[in-house]
């Protein structure tokens, strides 16, 4: 059986304080009814992802996109269809979002998104939305004490939430020891 292909544009609408994201509840009479989702909808054949998203957000929420950037593209297989989610992070919009089609909409703190039930295809979006926009990549510091001191200072002073450990010159044993120490500092 050939699966139907559906191209959907979705928005991770971020609040002005950068701490909340807008989600909408799916109507009970559709697939995945009652679950929460990122607002958006199916693209028309002639639309780009952003064009379709602008149309959908106007129709569903009564808002106009001012500034957006691509966030993630998600391919997901359901038993009857293949979904491509073209997800955009909307940083600025005009208007106050409300459910123009009767759907519930809610601003949710990003760290509480995991408490809401979403369709399986939305799970990669949740992870992408919760990632920080910047992260620290450690330098090639050979001295363990200096490495720990520099990392601790960066974590304290720069509000770092994600760290990539770079230590290509260390052997496996030394790398694991450094990673364990970095992990303790990051917690």
Which contiguous run of DSSP H or E holds residue 176? Answer: helix 172-186
Which pLDDT score is estimated for 57? 95
Which pLDDT score is estimated for 158? 75
Token pair 């979002």: residue:
97
Which pLDDT score is estimated for 82? 92
Which pLDDT score is estimated for 89? 94
Q: What is the pTM of this model?
A: 0.77
Given a cut of 50, the residues of the chain with pLDDT beneath it are: none
| Closest of 162, 91, 99, 98 to residue 130, by C-alpha | 162
Which pLDDT score is estimated for 135? 84
Which pLDDT score is estimated for 19? 87
| Closest of 70, 59, 66, 62 to residue 11, by C-alpha | 70
Taken in order of first residue, the domains within the chain and their CATH numbers are: 4-130 (3.90.79.10), 136-186 (no CATH)
Alpha-carbon distances, residue 21 vs 11, 88, 97, 105, 139 (angstroms): 9, 12, 12, 10, 33
Task: Output the six-digit token pair for 77.
Answer: 């297989």
Which pLDDT score is estimated for 28? 76
């Amino acid at each position: 059986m050939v699966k139907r292909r559906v191209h959907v544009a979705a928005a991770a609408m971020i609040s002005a304080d950068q701490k909340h994201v807008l989600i909408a509840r799916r109507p009970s009479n559709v697939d995945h009814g009652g679950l929460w989702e990122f607002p958006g909808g199916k693209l028309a054949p002639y639309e780009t992802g952003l064009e379709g998203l602008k149309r959908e957000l106007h129709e569903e929420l009564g808002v106009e996109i001012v500034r957006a950037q691509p966030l993630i593209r998600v391919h997901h297989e359901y038993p009857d269809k293949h979904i491509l989610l073209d997800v955009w992070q909307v940083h600025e919009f005009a208007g106050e979002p409300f459910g123009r089609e009767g759907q519930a909409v809610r601003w949710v703190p990003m760290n509480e998104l995991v408490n809401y039930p979403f369709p399986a295809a939305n799970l990669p979006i949740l992870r992408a939305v919760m990632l920080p926009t910047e992260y620290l990549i450690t330098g090639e510091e050979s001295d363990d004490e200096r490495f720990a001191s520099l990392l601790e200072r960066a974590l304290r002073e720069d509000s770092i939430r994600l760290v990539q450990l770079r230590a290509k010159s260390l052997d496996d044993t030394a790398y694991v020891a450094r990673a364990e120490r970095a992990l303790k500092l990051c917690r």
